[in-house]
Amino acid sequence: MNLAIKEALKGFQEDEVPIGAVIVIDGKVISKAHNITDKTQIATKHAEICAIEKACKKTGSWRLSDAEMYITLEPCAMCAGAIANARIKRVYFGAYEKKSGCAASLYPVLSENGLNHSTEYLGGISEEECSALLKNYFKSKRVQKP
């Protein structure tokens, strides 16, 4: 999770919503990414999507069945759906996203997605740190752009 937080911090420095994601297979880091929707102006470029795409390219397969993923925030519907589509084995996430999170909060997309695939998940890891990053980011935006 520390690596995912580092990725989120990179996002913060680039004025992106600070969310980071890391994919690990057999104890080895396969991909790291942070949110780049502002820089790219592409709506799909959340940290999780970027990390999954990099991992697929690196492994040469759309199936990441042995992968574990660390994310600083509970994934949205798009990212939870991508995690399920990529058949990722397990997800660890930091802060809960009560309004739109699709692991535990809004819809249980990781565990019930109609795909006969269930991704295990554990939320609340380094929760305070992950949450503080986002709070500080939005606070700084409010000061800069009142």
Stretch of 7-15, 16-24, 60-68, 119-127 lying at the interface with its own copies (CB under 8 A) = 60-68
Q: Which is nearer to its own copies, 6 or 71 (CB)?
A: 71
Residues near its own copies (CB under 8 A), total = 42
Stretch of 10-18, 27-35, 49-57, 128-136 lying at the interface with its own copies (CB under 8 A) = 49-57
C-alpha 65, offset from chain centre: 17
Among 85, 111, 118, 131, binds its own copies (CB under 8 A): 85
**CB distance 24 to 46 below 8 Å:** no
Q: Which is nearer to its own copies, 37 or 72 (CB)?
A: 37
C-alpha 112, offset from chain centre: 18
- Going across the sheet that includes 67-73, the strands are 28-34, 20-25, 67-73, 90-95, 120-122
- The structure tokens listed for 74 are 């509970």
Residue 22, H or E segment: strand 20-25
Q: Cα angle vertex 134, ends 111, 85, to 5°?
A: 25
| Least spacing, CB of residue 43 vs its own copies, in Å | 4
Task: Give the integer Cα–Cα distance in Å for 43 and 98.
Answer: 21
| Least spacing, CB of residue 65 vs its own copies, in Å | 11
Q: Does 145 bind its own copies (CB under 8 A)?
A: no
Binding site for its own copies (CB under 8 A): 37-38, 40-46, 49, 52-53, 56-57, 60-64, 76-82, 84-87, 97, 99-102, 106-107, 109, 112-115
